[in-house]
Structure 1
């Protein structure tokens, strides 16, 4: 049986944050291995807890820089409202990763259980696993019980004799895994272990930790324009052009595709490729969430403009050399991604890992190898004004001075539109 020290350091510290403050508490098995975390949004007070904040919490945890440190390959348990369970935003989440915690209905249970049953059944059909509090074992919730993948036994409100009865009843009536939560003493841990419970959560095992997930805010104008294109059935090319002009939108789009589970084995080939994989419905849900939750800014950071300029410059040079379109698509990705380190404030190799890139793009960004690596060296020499290196790179790639000047001017104009 797993035992833990009676006192663990509390990670909640008072500090300023420019990102989303997410509290996580570990859920461990009987061997002490962390199998997942329950998340709590500390950026908003309890009164501001809404369907939109539920979805933004999950999406932030899964989509933004620092997610590997936050969750790794573990499950994420997200507290939901019943309103958020019917929102289209759930299509943005990968059901293999997310456990939806369904709240009880209180005094309205008898009337609402049947009404809300189809929603829960649909979520299960879509692959989501559901967690309920121990109230799901009450007769009023009989219709929900077969849908339970996890049932949480709250030791802060259940006396020992009632916990014993409920644990034994659950073992007979459901295949759900039991989680004993709010464990604060060794005696509680011992009791639940003896009852066959194998998953545990509480201060005795692990205090909540505060993790800051760095948020990148696209401009409000670009999000509004994106919504306009999606609602007006704008072409894929129009949507692609808008997103490519905003490095923040581009980064978040790539992360959204990863967290939605639409990751081809060969990696994302272009921004257009990602747009087609996600489809209009997911993109509309995403843009609507950005608008509704007001996670936008009024200006574009200089680092974001720099990333756009690099990407566009490399794309234009590749196009002048009559190479397959996939090469110029990859060139844009290499140029933009190579400049994200300043924007995200995390190592470049970690950024590449977040974005599920093709091997040629990874190699060019991290090692400057291959044609794309040579193109990146050209872009860097052009940006820094290193004449000797610029001439050498241009000569090696057979890029004329005229092509170089035109690409540089067009890239600067492109970045200014962002």
Structure 2
């Protein structure tokens, strides 16, 4: 459960550098008696600590899996995420691999009626059936919540709220009535650690071991209109080609999809490097969930930024040129090179950092990072077209054995394609 608010990083204020373009996630390790990391509890520091809602749960999931790069954040360790009761029934939990996540669930308090307590059991049972493990605090051990005891995989005992004499009784009760692992949290002294260890507790969390690390990462938030268009296409069960076309139109959206589907929380054993493959792997149901989740952090609608439009033109031009000489799969890789060639400008980061959290085929990385490999000449020719570099144009066209007519015609087609996409009608927001 979260540390008290006076230990949390303050939420970004207007004008603060940590604005909507920065995701702020804190992680605190949960360790065993040998101080080896068992897992990490994640906290959303982009919003005030008191504003924990179903929406903030969804935002944390987006940030952890898409923006911050879950592999870098938690590796292969178990992730503990605080949830509101309202968020447990929402669709965003369908997007993550249950083996990776423990859901920390608040109790209802002593004033809860037996009917209110019982009403949550169906949701808990469904989550457990899907493979999620549930964690509760010491309030679970009160008489009012006895019906929840079989649902617990972890019980957290707060060392600031549990007296020494009470701790022994709570540990004994938990062992008698649950199969849960006990976590001593908010451990701040060696004496607390040794006392709980003597009671047989094997998992620990608190400032005595480590304070939360705070991870700041630059984000690119897709526009609400584009996300709504994606939702509308999925709702109408559009052809994969239509969905792929929308992803190609918006570098921000396609960037997040590849980051998300290749995150450790999604649980795939192989990396996905194609937009079409990503859509097929996700399926329409999960794609709808992902888009709805992304909508919670989408930016307000605004005209397509010039840099995004340029990236789309580059991608389409490289794809058309590559089709003349390369197999279809390589032509798709050429599109990715073009559309991601401005990620450093979009994120205001060096390209090496911009590509750290997105999985891309090696030929794509070689072209973007080193201007080498089979796709590099196509990128060079595209940049020459864009910049009006006659000498560079002539050299690159010669290397690829493409005529001026072929290149100029492809460039015109790419410009027309990008303009048509930008002028495409918006999905109605009221439907």
Is it true that 1:92 corresponds to 2:88 in the alignment?
no
> What is the aligned counterpart of 1:187 among 178, 188, 191?
191
Q: Say which is worse superposed, 32-41 or 219-228, in terms of deviation.
A: 32-41
Judge conservation of contact 2:185–2:206 (CA < 8 Å) in 1.
yes
- 1:264 deviates by 5.7
Judge conservation of contact 1:133–1:154 (CA < 8 Å) in 2.
yes
- 1:257 deviates by 1.3
What is residue 399 of structure 1 aligned with on the other side?
A: 402
Q: Say which is worse superposed, 116-125 or 253-262, in terms of deviation.
A: 253-262
What is residue 373 of structure 1 aligned with on the other side?
A: 376
> What is the aligned counterpart of 1:335 among 338, 343, 358?
338
Q: Unaligned stretches of 5+ in structure 1?
A: 1-9
- 1:150 deviates by 1.8
Question: What is the distance in 1 between the residues matched to 2:371 and 2:407?
Answer: 20
Judge conservation of contact 1:59–1:93 (CA < 8 Å) in 2.
no
What is residue 40 of structure 1 aligned with on the other side?
A: 43
Change (3 A) 1:23 1:205: same
Is it true that 1:250 corresponds to 2:254 in the alignment?
yes
Judge conservation of contact 1:92–1:256 (CA < 8 Å) in 2.
no
What is residue 6 of structure 1 aligned with on the other side?
A: none
RMSD: 2.6
Question: What is the distance in 2 between the residues matched to 1:120 and 1:196?
Answer: 27
Change (3 A) 1:360 1:144: farther
- 1:46 deviates by 4.7
- 1:251 deviates by 0.7
Q: Secondary structure at the match of 1:59?
A: helix
- 1:139 deviates by 4.6
Is it true that 1:167 corresponds to 2:168 in the alignment?
no
Is it true that 1:55 corresponds to 2:54 in the alignment?
no
Q: Following superposition, which runs of at least 4 residues in structure 1 exceed 6 angstroms of deviation?
A: none
Change (3 A) 1:369 1:292: closer
Judge conservation of contact 2:259–2:357 (CA < 8 Å) in 1.
yes
TM-score (norm 2): 0.85
What is residue 283 of structure 1 aligned with on the other side?
A: 287
Is it true that 1:211 corresponds to 2:215 in the alignment?
yes
Deviations 1:10-55 (A, max 9, x none): 7847853122333333323323333333223233335532212111
Q: Unaligned stretches of 5+ in structure 2?
A: 1-6, 423-431
What is residue 413 of structure 2 aligned with on the other side?
A: 410
What is residue 268 of structure 1 aligned with on the other side?
A: 272
Is it true that 1:387 corresponds to 2:390 in the alignment?
yes
Question: What is the distance in 1 between the residues matched to 2:250 and 2:281?
Answer: 19
- 1:78 deviates by 1.2
Is it true that 1:76 corresponds to 2:84 in the alignment?
no
> What is the aligned counterpart of 1:27 among 25, 30, 36?
30
Q: Secondary structure at the match of 1:158?
A: coil
Please list, as runs of the form range in 1=range in 2, the aligned pairs for 1:287-366 lying within 5 A after superposition: 287-321=291-325, 323-366=326-369
Change (3 A) 1:162 1:224: same
Question: What is the distance in 1 between the residues matched to 2:405 and 2:231?
Answer: 38
Judge conservation of contact 1:60–1:213 (CA < 8 Å) in 2.
no
Q: Secondary structure at the match of 1:27?
A: strand
Q: Secondary structure at the match of 2:261?
A: helix
Q: Say which is worse superposed, 240-249 or 290-299, in terms of deviation.
A: 290-299
Judge conservation of contact 1:307–1:335 (CA < 8 Å) in 2.
yes
TM-score (norm 1): 0.87
Aligned length: 407
Q: Say which is worse superposed, 34-43 or 230-239, in terms of deviation.
A: 34-43
> What is the aligned counterpart of 2:151 among 139, 147, 152?
147
Q: Secondary structure at the match of 1:48?
A: coil
Q: Secondary structure at the match of 1:255?
A: helix
